[in-house]
Amino acid sequence: MSHLLKIPNFLWAFVVCVLLSYELTCGYDTGGGIVEGKLNVHLVPHSHDDVGWLKTIDQYFIGSNNSIQVACVENVLDSVVMSLLRDPNRKFIFAEMAFFRRWWLIQSAGIKNQVKKLVSTGQLEFVNGGWCMHDEAATHYIDMIDQTTLGHDLIKSNFNVTPRAGWQIDPFGHSAVQAYLLGAELGFDSLHFARIDYQDRAKRKGDKSLEVVWRGSKTFGSSSQIFTNVFPRHYSPPDGFNFEVSGVFEPVQDEPLLFDMNVEKRVNDFINASLFQANVTRTNHIMWTMGEDFKYQYAESWFKQMDKLIHYVNMDGRVNALYSTPSIYTDAKLASNISWPLKTHDYFPYANNGDSYWTGYFTSRPALKGYVRSLSGYYLASRQLEFLVGRRNNGPNTFSLGDALGIAQHHDAVSGTAKQHTTNDYQKRLAIGALEAEAVVNSALSCLTSSTSNCTISTSTFSQCPLLNISFCPPAENIPSGKSLVIVAYNALGWNRTDVIRIPVKDANFVVQDNEGNTVEAQFIEFDNITSNLRSFYTEAYLGISPEDVPKYWLLFQASVPPLGWNTYFVTQTPGKGQYVSVADHTPQNDTIEIGPGSLKMLFSLQSGQLKRIINSRTRIDLPIQQSYLWYGSGSGNQPSGAYIFHPSDSPPVIVSRSVPVKVIRGPLIEEVHQQFNPWIYQVTRLYKDKEHVEFEFTIGPIPTDDGVAKEVITRITADMVTDKLFYTDSNGRDFLKRVRDYREDWPLEVTQPVAGNYYPLNLGMFTTDNKTELSILVDRATGGASLSDGQMEIMFHRRMLYDDHRGVGEALDEIVCGNSTCQGLAIRGNYYLSIDHVGNGSRWRRTTGQEIYSPLLLAFTHETQDDYKASHSTRSTTMDPNYSLPPSVALITLQELEDGSVLLRLAHLYEAGEDVHFSTLVKVELKKMFAAKSIKTIKETSLSANQDKSAMKRMPWKVEGGSGSEPPTVRGGPIDPSALVVELGPMEIRTFILQV
């Protein structure tokens, strides 16, 4: 038998094993680095771990509910760490800190020390480093910053490192704000992702322009550019090189004692795939993304194969393979010293084929999108209040809400593309976080408003009304006899604001007084049936209660609140009716109904009930305009609309109604037109006495599908304007980008979907313009919009689908809400806002009103007699110098006390360069006046996520093709003087500071 053991000598070189302790470790040479003059194949091991999608985040972490998807992130991290410890040359990258925190908290001190060593040596590299891999269409820039800061703080505090690479591999399109703000301004050197339009990818593969230098900001230009790597295919390895233990692959068989040795074949497979990719990539460096969704659950299955491939490929010598990371890869690209194509603008919309535009998710799950947006503004305000009274080490704090919001920014969360049970989990987490933050706010307001200096003794017990939008507000509905309803309105903005407060009351026998006892003009408006029905069904569905008494009126009054301060109003029962009880106006005005208590007027047709004109008597703008509701039917065939895809049928959208019943409500503060477009679409159009914009409140749903047709509901605004195919949409609530119908700036567009292919994401709003007028619309949540004809804008508000769109979620987007006895399709209530301005003047309204929509007045309620309350409380105050407010072009987007007692401060300039002749300028913020009641001991400027000193951030000097031309000078604020404490901000600049106070 001895002749069977005779093995050719050269085969012994394939396997050199040594026995180390109890395990057999194969001695493959994986330690080689980059080799000049060869094609270098950078193997980047990764696992893309969705923070919820088909399963909830916790199910994904612990590996439960595997009948849906076999995935366990705890196994991934356990297994990867052990594999990295076996070979110091192995590397791995990890992105989602919401998962990593769960894992880190349950590790032993020994494991933690080993992981810290892996991070310090570069074997384990954090990429992106946010709480999740956030979406880029349905996220607001403040939320993107907040969730990234959460993750970066975890990394910095435990490992003292700062991520260098953006890793947005799975979001369905990519925003300009992601490039310059959540990329360059974080200190990232590079950005990496997979999904771009199929036509764009084909063009870029042809001219080797997948990798670019991206300048996402017109304002900052090259000063905020970032190297961007678009993968030639998905974020998975080339075919045949996915080594998940449960998968089907051909392993490298190099054991001479076994049959089917295939080293030469697998080396050739590797080299052929490498050369194929090199044909679409510049320089002699290519990246293989060695992973996919929830891979490395048994990490050795991957690392053993990669060890062998690196060893044998490098022995072959035709190409060089190495373990790598995005940072190593980017350094190699920079060292090549070549010029790169220039990319501006963004990567929206995204389509993966001619019938599949991923523009439906801009609107999917509008209730979740609205909840996320409202809690985002609430989180901003609650952190301010938490700071103002001092963060407590014990008891309620705002972290739970920040954690839930961070998870909700995930690209399958706020996007509306998760399974229903996962979406329910996101909402549950948000509700739990909001409840804890509400306790923080109530306690803080009790402390701030107290006349005593001892905050441990509460003088009032406040409550809030999170369901006020459906008229449910118990403290306003049940005012004890002999007491007043005390309303404390807190203003999270840095300037004084005047808004109308609306609360439900059971009768009209109330008077409103301000903090000085003056009677405030008030108006009562009777409840409509739609509001009463919403309230009845959704209080039962959400709270499990069925209130017997339904309020009869909305009580409205105007409140004025100082910056970062509060004002108090008292609602007291009085004999007889209140000041002004609005009733429906049935008086015809020829064939036209005109409404508007101020300078802005709207004219409706008495015959059709439809809007005809908007007139501003102050600016002398008179614009013929129409507004209607329509719905698109879902396309049939192989590609229906679904959670991701918007694929309307070839038929034009269905006009809901050409003749609309109207009810007109008049009053001194507000005038309204109520329109019942059909049994499931109701709209209230409001004009305010002291505001020059229109507020539309829509109630849509349940959308009927008993006709077998899925429906996607839009409003369409059509004005007499010549707009030449142009319109503008915001990028994550920040910059406005020019859009041209049926056009892409990067390639000659083949129009396959003239509707879905012209939809873009909205977070702030959109506008269009001709040579005389700007027509602007702002929204209250993430959604999608388009301009399909000149002078026309449309926004999608609600979707109800019948089929899955075959993109993995595996169920139709059909949201059902159940009460105690009945279930029905989801109804949503929301707002959008419209303004007409002269050309060049619309930005002031968009920027200021946009901030007010994002940060509404925070209302807290209690019951007490006026005299008793005033005797023990401060009824009106600001935490700033009473004679100071922030410039109108500056927003305070973060004021937060951190765990170590330091204070995180962010200030944002709201205007782009050249956007407004007066406000697109350098401005100053005086911190001494802003923090009037506190003393700033030290101040340090940091990166956007506060994880490194601003002075330590270095820009990579990328060369750009055709980029040597002159740019307009970039205006940025200068260094802050620690004694003067004046912060300068240039247009679009966000500056972040850590203070000791």
Strands 211-215, 342-344: pairing is: parallel
In angstroms, the CA 536 to CA 147 distance is 35
User: Do you know the residue count of the chain?
Assistant: 997
Q: Is 348 exposed, middle or buried (0-12, 13-18, 19+ CB in 10 A)?
A: buried
C-alpha dist (Å) from residue 51 to 93, 173, 502, 756, 874: 16, 18, 37, 28, 44
Nearest of 728, 658, 733, 717 to residue 685 by alpha carbon: 717
Cis peptide before 702 (omega within 30 of 0): yes
Is residue 131 a contact partner of residue 96, using CB atoms and an 8 Å limit?
yes
Catalytic residue among 143, 146, 170, 346: 170
Per DSSP, the three-state class of 624 is: strand
DSSP state letters, 330-357: HHHHHHT--EE-EEES---S-EEETTEE
Strands 519-520, 510-513: pairing is: antiparallel
Q: Active-site residue 170, yes or no?
A: yes
In angstroms, the CA 375 to CA 436 distance is 12
Is residue 511 a contact partner of residue 572, using CB atoms and an 8 Å limit?
yes
Question: Which residue has 């009351």 as its token pair?
Answer: 505
The maximal CA–CA distance of the chain, rounded, in angstroms, is: 113
Per DSSP, the three-state class of 845 is: helix
| Amino acid present at 649 | S
In angstroms, the CA 660 to CA 612 distance is 13
Per DSSP, the three-state class of 286 is: strand
CA angle 810, 816, 821 (to 5 degrees): 140
Q: Which residues of 392-429 are buried (b: 16+ CB within 10 A; e: fewer)?
A: eeeebbbbbbbbbbbbbbbbbbbbbbbbeebbebbbeb
Per DSSP, the three-state class of 987 is: coil
Beta strands in 375-427, from DSSP E residues, in sequence order: none
Residues involved in catalysis: 170
